[in-house]
A and B are shown apart, each in its own frame.
Chain A
Amino acid sequence: MMLKLALKNFFGAGLRTWLNILVLSIAFVAIIWLQGIFVSFSSRAFDAMIAEEIGGGYIQHKEYDPYDPTSLEETFAPLCEILLDIQNREKATAMLIYPAIAYPAGRMHNVTLRGIKPEQTILELPTEKMAADLGVVPVMIGSRMSRSTSLSEGDRFMIRWRDRRGALDAKEFEVAAVMSLENQSVDSGQIWMPLSDLQKMLQTDNAATIMVLSTEFDGQSVMGRIADDWILKTQYDLTEDLRSLIAMADIEYYVFYIIFLLLALISIFDTQILALFRRRKEMGTLMSLGMTRHQLIGLFTFEGGLYALFALLLGAVYGTPILIWTARNGFPLPEGMDMDSFGIPGITDTIYPDYRFSSIFSTIILSVIIVVIVSYLPARRIARLKPTDALRGKWS
């Protein structure tokens, strides 16, 4: 009975009903689309960081601080047998990190040298390209580094560094490959080279700053058996900053979510309030026919809920193809826009929204609940309505 009456009133309102449904459906689709983008940001940022930088975590020199380049000259140590063993079993790969100055085209750039074995498979980097015999030390750079230094594949340039005794040394290097990296922190200002060459440059056999662990390897299994110079940083520890950044981005997402939903809810709230005033006599009639106040509140709330239901249906009709298309084809970032400037790794030139059933489902449920609450709030006034006043078109 309630459904039939609600549907009659709902469709009886004509154009007003359809306008509300349209506005609410646009809000639903926009919220899901926006959520897809934010999920994409966070998941791709994590994926890129794990694949290109941290793997399954680090066993690192205890003094190593990636935010203090001046300390890099002191924060490495020879690898012990145990660490060499896990590297040989391809459970980890050593990385030596050292500060230097590059002179591409005669201009000076502070850089960080990253020595890594060309044959490593722990990080998803094309390090095998550094195995080429070029007559000079082959190095790799990322596309951002390429842009900022104007270096391209095949270009030769000078690097100067200070060796362990403090003496300045210099050497010529050749760009063996320009990598397309998603993670800015392993790209900007970074020069990748074979580990053995960097060790020779620093006259430190078998030295490394960090051991990047495989995602299948539990670093805890070797801790306690290696020197105190080394500490374990888990994947969780190393993604702490990123998680904080994503938490900030989540706040931005919720701001947009609230704005979109508010726009839709205002139209529903407005409709409900207007209906309560316009339909007082109808309420009085329904009471005289034997409807209770609670049934009337239920009826008006149910009518509001119908907006959410039909908005979902309408949104599904036009929103599903739009969302599928954007997920498959993505959409390019506007010209000149660089997500790095927002500090969000993982996004290169095209954003592919990532729509997940769980997040779509939870968004829909939450939005419908909010719509029903917004419908219920004005309807509560009916509880104070006297039938005689309602029949006269008055509020008690």
Chain B
Amino acid sequence: MQNVIEIRNMTKHYPVGTGKFTALEDINLQFGKGEFAGLVGPSGSGKTTLLNIVGTLDNQSEGEVAVLGNDIRILSSRQAADMRSEHIGFIFQTYNLLPHYTVFENVEFPLILLKYPAKKRSDLVMEVLEMVGLTDKVKSKPAKLSGGQCQRVAIARAMVKKPAILLADEPTANLDVDNSHNILQLMVKMNKEMNTSFIFSTHDEKVIRYLRRKINLLDGKVASDTEQLNNDA
């Protein structure tokens, strides 16, 4: 399997007062194309930090991280932004939708950044909204949507540009059981149809059941990295 992310001997420190706190230590991981993997562990284990680093939102302190063959440490701020814009989608626990935009405009936004023509944007937005089942909400503002609907908009926004990598940080933390399953089934479907690599950060058992690969993080270190064959995916 072709690797989209390669992490070698990666460590991340944060300055704390005059000392430093080690959030991640000696991480070695590879993620292949089309993976459906999860970083699992308690709060403070380094899941979100790792997700931010592979999402080029943050930099490692030591070691090497290559995303789609690019060493993220040498990427300029602009190049990192371009990488996120073209190849990486994000889903957040709190949805992070643009409040003044409609559902259609929220989903369209990444395509505007990519300077797609209007017709192509419209077609792609409607296609992805069809997949997440929100074609009847195109003109609604986020404030008028339920939590599950907001998260589906966030998924549509992340997937509309057909990214190589989708990073989801606790995507079901604010959702009830039914909505969580609906969202996860939607993501499994998209993973299969678009061959996008999904990487989750979670400690939610509902999510873990769906993962094909489970990476346990404990105190900033990889405690285990296992394939899961019998799951709902």
Contacts and interface: CB of A to CB of B under 8 A. Distances in A.
Interface of A: 1, 4, 8-9, 11-12, 281-282, 284-285, 287-294, 386-388, 391
Nearest 3 A-B pairs (CB), nearest first?
A290-B85, A12-B100, A285-B96
B113 A391 contact: no
A281 B57 CA distance: 14
Contacts of A282: 96, 98-99
Contact of A290 (B58, B101, B105, B113): B113
Contacts, number: 62
Contact of A289 (B52, B78, B94, B109): B109
A68 to B, nearest CB: 73
Given A12-B99, A289-B85, A388-B52, 16 more contacts: A1-B113, A8-B98, A287-B81, A288-B57, A288-B90, A289-B90, A289-B110, A290-B81, A290-B84, A290-B86, A290-B113, A291-B113, A292-B78, A293-B77, A386-B58, A388-B57
9 contacts: A8-B100, A285-B92, A289-B90, A289-B113, A290-B84, A290-B110, A291-B85, A294-B78, A387-B57
Contact of B100 (A9, A281, A285, A290): A9
Contact of A391 (B85, B92, B99, B109): B92
B57 A290 contact: no
Contacts of B82: 290
A292 B110 contact: no
Interface in B66-120: 77-78, 81-82, 84-86, 90, 92, 94, 96, 98-101, 105, 109-110, 112-114
A289 B110 CA distance: 6
Nearest to B109: A289
B220 interface: no
Contacts of A4: 112
A1 B85 CA distance: 15
A1 B58 contact: no
A290 B79 CA distance: 10
Contacts of B114: 290
